[in-house]
């Protein structure tokens, strides 16, 4: 790397959605459903607050599936 070059490092944003139903997680993976709407709202809010820029920035979404109930 040469002197004088500007290097911008993009910080990673982690959004933890908590434990959700298996069906909801499946829909999120396909880009549909209630979790996708909540995720889009959260990203929109972060952009409006200036936490993340309008350009691309890595966002990691953490969602855990609830365990199955067996009765």
Nearest to 23 by CA among 59, 63, 60: 63
pLDDT for 42-52, tens place per residue?
Answer: 988 988 888 88
pLDDT in tens, 13-44: 888 999 999 999 999 999 999 999 999 999 88
Is the separation of the CB atoms in 63 and 20 below 8 Å?
yes
Is the full-model pTM beyond 0.85?
no
State the Cα–Cα distance between residues 36 and 30, nearest whole angstrom.
9
- Residue 6: the pLDDT is 47
């Amino acid at each position: 790397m040469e002197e004088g070059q500007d290097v911008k490092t993009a910080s990673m944003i982690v959004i933890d959605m908590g434990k959700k139903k298996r069906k909801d997680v499946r829909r999120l993976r396909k880009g549909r459903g209630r979790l996708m709407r909540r995720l889009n709202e959260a990203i929109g809010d972060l952009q409006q607050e200036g936490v993340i820029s309008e350009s691309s920035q890595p966002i990691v979404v953490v969602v855990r599936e609830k365990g199955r109930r067996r009765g």
